[in-house]
Amino acid sequence: PVRAVRRLQDPARAHHSQILLTCCRQCSSGILPNEKIRNIGISAHIDSGKTTLTERILYYTGRIAQMHEVKGKDGVGAVMDSMELERQRGITIQSAATYTKWKGTNINIIDTPGHVDFTIEVERSLRVLDGAVLVICAVGGIQCQTMTVNRQMKRYNVPFLTFINKLERVDRKST
């Protein structure tokens, strides 16, 4: 341990340590170059399907073996809803972070709350994102919170794509 401290204090080696820190980051998969790490957020209004979308991403990328329902209808509940109250009510209260790997890239995913009372959680999450997914519910349509999240993304210059969810539902909006 003492040798390691001396090496870091050695001016000739400090430059190499600095280069390693600026081009690589430690993540859940080990130390990767920055180009191989992405932070994305999934945001929208309440009940638009953010957590369900996150659960499906985790399943189809092989991170989890089974998909579960958000409201815990199957007795398990979604992986992203870790608080008991979230599982009972079927809403996200606190931003939840996870990761998956896709084609050699480590993707950190932040599932944000959709309820207006937890807007500050979305705001905190946006500060660390490389990009985001704005989920719009085809049944509920664009709501006030959708517009708020859109403004927040623009305020923090977070590039985003729009994903329209629940298009298979017969009660979707046609406009």
* pLDDT tens digit sequence for 112-122: 877 766 777 78
Report pLDDT for 126. 85
Angstrom distance (rounded) from CA 8 to CA 15: 9
- Taking each helix axis as running N to C, give the angle between helix 119-126 and helix 144-155, from 0 to 180 degrees, rounded to the nearest 10: 30
How far lies 50's CA from each of 25, 46, 54, in Å? 27, 8, 6
Does residue 13 carry a pLDDT above 70?
no
Angstrom distance (rounded) from CA 33 to CA 143: 39
Report pLDDT for 7. 41
What's the pTM value of the predicted model, to 2 decimals?
0.73
Angstrom distance (rounded) from CA 55 to CA 49: 10
Contact 39, 76 (CB under 8 A): no
Mapping DSSP to helix (H, G, I), strand (E, B) and coil, where does residue 154 land?
helix
* pLDDT tens digit sequence for 72-121: 566 665 666 556 665 565 566 667 788 899 898 899 998 887 776 677 77
Report pLDDT for 85. 60
Does residue 30 carry a pLDDT above 50?
yes
DSSP string, 90-127: T---S-EEEEEEETTEEEEEEE---SGGGHHHHHHHHT
Report pLDDT for 6. 38
Report pLDDT for 79. 63
* pLDDT tens digit sequence for 31-78: 777 888 899 999 888 788 888 888 889 999 999 888 877 665 666 656
